Amino acid sequence: MVSRTPQAAALPSSLHDDITAAGYYPALVADVVAAAVAGEDVVAHLVHQETTLDQESVRRHITVLALTPGRLVIAHADDHAPDPTSSIHATSVATASTECVPLSAVRGVMLTHVVAEPDSYRPGSLGRELTLTLGWGTVSRVDLVPATCGDPQCEADHGFEGTVTGDDISLRVSADAEGEHVLARAHDFAAALSAAIGRPGQ
């Protein structure tokens, strides 16, 4: 049982319990989320823990989405090897970041339902896997590359071309991997956020 710090005590017990159940530095994650929520009521939340493998190590990540009456709070934490050039000497390092997005800036909520054996789909079940994609407009990234005319021999300057990409986040939730209660929480969170951004004045 992870004790609740004064900061984390402001979070709903259900959110704190989900952070604890995820098992990824729960005291740190709860404090970071609580600091970003800043005392507002949490209307709905989703906690998503993921483990990824690369050639050298196993890395864990956690993303916490918290919906307040006026904001979408996004917290993400992961661990990585310490920077050998850093003055901080540690065997491991975790980085936790938060972003608070006004609901008026949330552009959309996209749900992708994956349904196995659709011929035998049971009405109301919505499948056992969901990908939740959220888009918002706080920051846009511009990717520029030199423009070309298609002639490999051409040496003229054709300027630049590029794309502008807005911020978004995509979370995949599977009942078989995370449990049916996590999938249900994802559906509930998506419904609450969709309703919130659709209200007049948001």
pLDDT per residue over 150-159, tens digit each?
777 777 776 6
Is 8's pLDDT higher than 80?
A: no
Burial environment of residue 27 by CB neighbours within 10 A (0 to 12, 13 to 18, 19 or more)? middle
pTM strictly above 0.85: no
Q: 84-132: per-residue pLDDT in tens?
A: 666 666 677 889 999 999 999 998 899 999 999 999 999 998 999 999 9
**Residue 16 burial (CB count, 10 A):** 22
24 near 60, Cβ under 8 Å? Answer: yes
pLDDT value, residue 5: 67
Joined together, the tokens standing for residue 138 give: 């706080």
User: What gap in Å lies between CA 49 and CA 152, rounded to an integer?
Assistant: 47
79 near 114, Cβ under 8 Å? Answer: no
